[in-house]
Chain A
Amino acid sequence: MLTQKEIFATIEMIDRQHLDIRTITMGISLLSCCDADAKKACDKIYDKITRSAENLVRVGEEIEHEFGIPIVNKRISVTPMALVAAASECEDYVPFALTLDRAAKTCGVNFIGGYSALVQKGMTTADEKLIRSIPEALDRTDLVCSSVNVGSTRAGINMDAVALMGEIIKETAERTRDRDGLGCAKLVVFCNAVEDNPFMAGAFHGVGEAEKVINVGVSGPGVVHHALQSVKGAPFDVVAETVKKTAFRVTRMGQLVAQEASKRLDTPFGIVDLSLAPTPAVGDSVARILEEMGLEVCGTHGTTAALALLNDAVKKGGVMASSSVGGLSGAFIPVSEDEGMIAAAQSGVLTLDKLEAMTCVCSVGLDMIAVPGDTSAETVAAIIADEAAIGMINNKTTAVRLLPVPGKQVGDSIEMGGLLGSAPVMPVHSESSADFIARGGRIPAPLHSLRN
């Protein structure tokens, strides 16, 4: 039997500690939409998405109402578009992005992910066409998110793709110059991308997935922060236990919502992604959790250890709460989307190099970081290479979502609004990496990729 204390604890988590379901994401396979005629393929894509996800937003809102838990985003992820478009005899892939955008708007979702290519070992003609179309695609659409996987532990790092992505990110920023390079906020470069991630901008529906599937991403940095406030000064084993218990509760809520959505949408349940996903709201920050452990400002010495504990305890607590855990699962450290990270970056304590170290132990990578507009494509590519190397060697997903903001310098800051937040422009090293990037080829997979 529930006690009054438990009931009010839940209500307080939702009301005051920003507990929410961050996203219900419907993954839809578009492999059945391939057609030699690009126009026909686009029509099939539009029909399949709008038919499959027609009730997604309505059901999400119903669940929100009945359970009294906010569901912040309803999203769609689709098969990496390079695979679908490869069948069509055309040079320009932008119409595929416009089709995704139109379908997303018809369904009323917040974002659609999957304008993607997987090129960790090599690029097909279609992959290259898609990648080269990304700047225009992100400029001309509102809701489309794009991702490119350039490396994996099994395949190594495709340095030709890394070099190309440096240029593509710069071009995307330039094309969306009037919006402070906002296009780059919808573009992620991955190493070890996962096929069932419900979070944007990196969500796509992997080829190993079913026809359609429901994945749910939970959140809850505020709840963890609040729980840790009650164990001030206690040893780390107590901290870890407290995070685990809190993550368990949060994930149980995600599991319930996922099952309910799956039932009502008559779509199989995929995974719960048990991530701590911050927002720019005060009291919803991962950085503040790290500071609660005893750090004066996030980014100072000890931050990586604090994050390692947090990331691990979140997984341990969440894994028992869900029948199927997947996606990225862990603590996200996006700078612009986290009030504490923004403050730490503004104060100069949190630097790009420290963030890179933190990505060795967080769930993803360098995320939503504004850098000066005059950062060269080669430097962007070299940052991607470093991050991909961390992912490749450590058997984990890493990602880069950088915003080289046109016309902005260190000391400036950009406002993106909503969940994307605001970002101080952070310095990068000015010494050149151009000759390194110009080599091209492939960084071989590490020895531990040979596991069979």
Chain B
Amino acid sequence: MNAIVSVLGRDKVGITAAVCVKMADYQINILDISMTVMQGNFTMIMVVDLEKMTAPFGEVVDACDALGKELGVSIRIQRQEIFDAMHEI
């Protein structure tokens, strides 16, 4: 099962590192990653594999939320199906 991690907010040092560490903490494997910084705004999209995830999904959602607050950005993790459903026929 794949999920999409999206990060949005003001750029600063260490956002990508912190998110990657959090994923590793839960044994979530990163499959793809793309990031851009435009006019100081940081956006990152990760495709991750949840197969070996060590905690319930809800706990990871809450952990991402908490990390986002700590870093001053929004971090969300959502199952990939919702994006597929909306954008693919």
Contact = CB atoms under 8 A, between A and B. Distances in A.
Contacts of A62: 57-58
A11 B82 CA distance: 10
B20 to A, nearest CB: 18
A169 to B, nearest CB: 41
Given A7-B6, A11-B76, A252 B86 contact: yes
Contacts of A2: 4, 80, 83-84, 87
A249 B88 CA distance: 9
B85 interface: yes
B83 A256 contact: no
A255 B34 CA distance: 29
Given A4-B45, A7-B6, A7-B45, A68 B78 contact: yes
Nearest to A2: B83
Contacts of A66: 57-58, 61, 78-79
A8 B83 CA distance: 10
A4 B34 contact: yes
A2 B83 CA distance: 8
A8 B43 contact: yes
B81 to A, nearest CB: 6
Contacts of B8: 8, 11
Contacts of B77: 68
The interface centre, meaning the residue of A2, A9, A69 with most chain B CB atoms within 10 A of its CB, is A2
Interface string A231-271: 00000000000000000010011011000000000000000
Interface residues of A, number: 19
Contacts of A69: 78, 82
A253 B81 CA distance: 9
Interface in A41-70: 62, 65-69
A252 B58 contact: no
A6 B87 contact: yes
B43 A67 contact: no
Contacts of B76: 11, 68
A255 B84 CA distance: 12
A7 B33 CA distance: 13
A106 interface: no
Task: Tell me whether chain A's interface is mostly helix, strand or loop, or mixed.
Answer: helix
Interface in B62-89: 76-87
Contacts of A324: none
Interface residues of B, number: 22
Contacts of A65: 57-58, 61
A7 B46 CA distance: 11
A67 B87 contact: no
Contacts of B81: 67, 256
A372 B70 CA distance: 53
Nearest to A65: B58
The interface centre, meaning the residue of A4, A8, A9, A66 with most chain B CB atoms within 10 A of its CB, is A66
A256 B88 CA distance: 12
A10 interface: yes
B4 A7 contact: yes
B68 to A, nearest CB: 13
Contacts of B36: 4
B6 A8 contact: yes
Nearest to A257: B82
B56 to A, nearest CB: 9
Contact of A10 (B43, B57, B61, B86): B86
B85 A252 contact: yes
Nearest to A19: B86
B16 to A, nearest CB: 15
Given A4-B36, A67-B78, A249-B86, 14 more contacts: A2-B83, A4-B34, A7-B45, A10-B87, A65-B57, A65-B58, A66-B78, A68-B61, A68-B76, A68-B77, A68-B82, A69-B78, A253-B86, A256-B82
17 contacts: A2-B4, A4-B36, A4-B43, A6-B86, A7-B6, A8-B8, A8-B43, A10-B87, A11-B76, A62-B57, A65-B57, A68-B61, A68-B78, A249-B87, A252-B85, A256-B81, A256-B85
Interface of A: 2, 4, 6-11, 62, 65-69, 249, 252-253, 255-256
Closest CB pairs A-B (n = 4): A68-B78, A256-B85, A252-B85, A6-B87
